[in-house]
Structure 1
Amino acid sequence: MDAPTMEDYLQLFVEETSRYNDIVLGSLLPANWLAPLPHFFRGWLRNYIGGTFIYLISGTLWCFYIYYLKRNVYLPKDAIPSKNAMLLQIGVAMRALPWYCAFPAMTEYMIEHGWTKCFSRISDVGWIAYLCYLAMYLVFVEFGIYWVHRELHDIKPLYKYLHATHHIFNKQNTLSPFAGLAFHPLEGILQAMPHVLALFVIPTHFTTHMALLFIDAIWTTNIHDCIHGKLWPVMGAGYHTIHHTTYRHNYGHFTIWMDWMFGTLRDPVEDEAKKI
């Protein structure tokens, strides 16, 4: 029996993305509509439909829970954003989502054509190597997003023409879970860039990469709800709310480590203690 070729191995990625397409698109669109669509466009459409669903459903459920079911429990009444503020955030995000979703579709194209260091099965490298690579990937992404975010503030034209779109929501009574994707489209791509660049330098399990992108979408909802979870070393909403009010602190994404290392960390618990 002939040994598998590189083309055979790359086909595993195509089969996986095709399964994702079938899960999202298969139940929504007739097969005769999907058949003529190129594989790349199916991936974009799946990302767009899935991303829109995740954004709207997770944001709506979380807003319903914290602003209605638990009204005045987690946040004082004057910190609850208005419906107009949330609708504005949804509008900004929905205009950007088609562009956001083209980026992972392009990433999948590069993976399927063997341009990255992605591997399809954990058994290809073993569990120890997989966990080491995952740790390297997460550190790379955390470092990259920290510096992209920080430079979006430090480089004035980038702030003025890109990041300012997101920073019109700067107080508790304007921030909501829907602010999580309310970015200029180009900024959203820049902040996602470390996830993609990592694939070219670190061997990465493709399914894990896809799962982390999904987690990323949920995470952006969480860190804009203004509720501080107090789970060290997680960069929770308490830290990110400070970022929206001072502009010079807490640039990190999942954790506080990069802010701690580079001197930009500001702790919400210590801030509250100083007010007492």
Structure 2
Amino acid sequence: MDLVLNAADYHLLTPYVYPSMWPENEPFRQLLSLFVITNLGALALYLLFGTLSYYFIFDHELKKHPQFLENQVQREIAYAVQSLPWISVPTVALFFAEVRGYSKLYDNIEDSPYGKELLYMLSFLFFTDMGIYWIHRFLHHKLLYKRFHKPHHLWKIATPFASHAFHPVDGFMQSLPYHIYPFLFPLHKVTYLGLYIFVNVWTISIHDGDYRLLFSEYFDLSSRNPNLHFT
């Protein structure tokens, strides 16, 4: 994230937003800048790719389904826009740790041969996908589901705009593997930024259809673990 912060400082924040006597590496300034950049970036990705997916990929015939809610698209967008600032608070704290040099992200691609960089990319995808699976499963536990995860399942016939329509706790927990990875494993900064953007776009692209569980699947899963909730 320091690449984005440095670019923002160079092209906009210094000296057009902050006074010239406020150092770019001052912690409070960095936190404030990261909060604004994170929210604007997340909102831009969400609205841009959500709109593209909604108009060019989403099957609009699904809007005729009886479980497609009245004014659902507007409600999805409103829920997401309200949640994103709260999700960004702990997210910015982790970005701040990256900027201050506590992660294993590195600057020079020469420090890692291309074969090893490819391995790091694959490990990122494996680690984050596995992490999200278990976090998602954990959020279906009866003690957590109704309070934190059920709001996301309000959208039975999801559009791409449902992708970020989470309760803030749910949204942050499911993003946590992406933020933890660079503190555990090395990765080039540009690669990490590209992968982070990619997974956000991918998240939007998978929320574009009818994802109701079949009754047979529901009873099969619930019989294996009565603590899991789906409704």
Common fold by TM > 0.5: yes
User: 1:199 and 2:182 equivalent?
Assistant: yes
1:37-82 CA distances to partner (integer Å, 9 max, x unpaired)?
Answer: 7022112101111211221222223323356xx754xx58437946
Of the structure 1 ranges 89-98 and 49-58, higher mean CA displacement relative to structure 2 is found in 49-58
User: 1:92 and 2:79 equivalent?
Assistant: yes
- The 1:213–1:56 alpha-carbon spacing in structure 2 relative to 1, beyond 3 Å, is same
2:204 maps to which of 221, 229, 238: 221
- The 1:211–1:244 alpha-carbon spacing in structure 2 relative to 1, beyond 3 Å, is farther
> Structure 1 vs Structure 2: percent identity of aligned residues?
29
Query: C-alpha separation between the residues in 2 aligned to 1:39 and 1:82?
Result: 41
1:9-47 CA distances to partner (integer Å, 9 max, x unpaired)?
Answer: xxxx74x23344259x83xx8943344670221121011
- The 1:177–1:117 alpha-carbon spacing in structure 2 relative to 1, beyond 3 Å, is same
Partner of 1:168: 154
Partner of 2:144: 158
The one-letter code sitting in structure 2 at the alignment partner of 1:207 is V
Query: C-alpha separation between the residues in 2 aligned to 1:242 and 1:133?
Result: 35
2:17 maps to which of 33, 54, 57: 33
1:116-160 CA distances to partner (integer Å, 9 max, x unpaired)?
Answer: 21112221122122111221121111110000001111x212111
User: 1:57 and 2:48 equivalent?
Assistant: yes
Query: C-alpha separation between the residues in 1 aligned to 2:214 and 2:168?
Result: 19
- The 1:32–1:145 alpha-carbon spacing in structure 2 relative to 1, beyond 3 Å, is same
Query: C-alpha separation between the residues in 1 aligned to 2:90 and 2:108?
Result: 23
- Following superposition, the deviation at residue 100 of structure 1 comes to 2.4
* Larger RCO (CA within 8 A; separation ≥ 6): 2
User: 1:48 and 2:32 equivalent?
Assistant: no
Indicate if the aligned counterparts of 1:117 and 1:199 stay in contact, CA closer than 8 A.
yes
Query: C-alpha separation between the residues in 2 aligned to 1:215 and 1:80?
Result: 30
User: 1:18 and 2:5 equivalent?
Assistant: yes
5+ long unaligned stretches in structure 1: 1-12, 227-237, 251-276
Partner of 1:143: 130
5+ long unaligned stretches in structure 2: 23-27, 222-231
1:170-210 CA distances to partner (integer Å, 9 max, x unpaired)?
Answer: 1x3xx111100000111111011111221222112222222
The one-letter code sitting in structure 2 at the alignment partner of 1:113 is R
Query: C-alpha separation between the residues in 2 aligned to 1:248 and 1:148?
Result: 21
The one-letter code sitting in structure 1 at the alignment partner of 2:17 is W
The one-letter code sitting in structure 2 at the alignment partner of 1:32 is Y
- The 1:158–1:191 alpha-carbon spacing in structure 2 relative to 1, beyond 3 Å, is same
TM normalised by structure 2 equals 0.78
User: 1:108 and 2:92 equivalent?
Assistant: no
Indicate if the aligned counterparts of 2:34 and 2:96 stay in contact, CA closer than 8 A.
no
Match of 2:145, SS state, is: helix
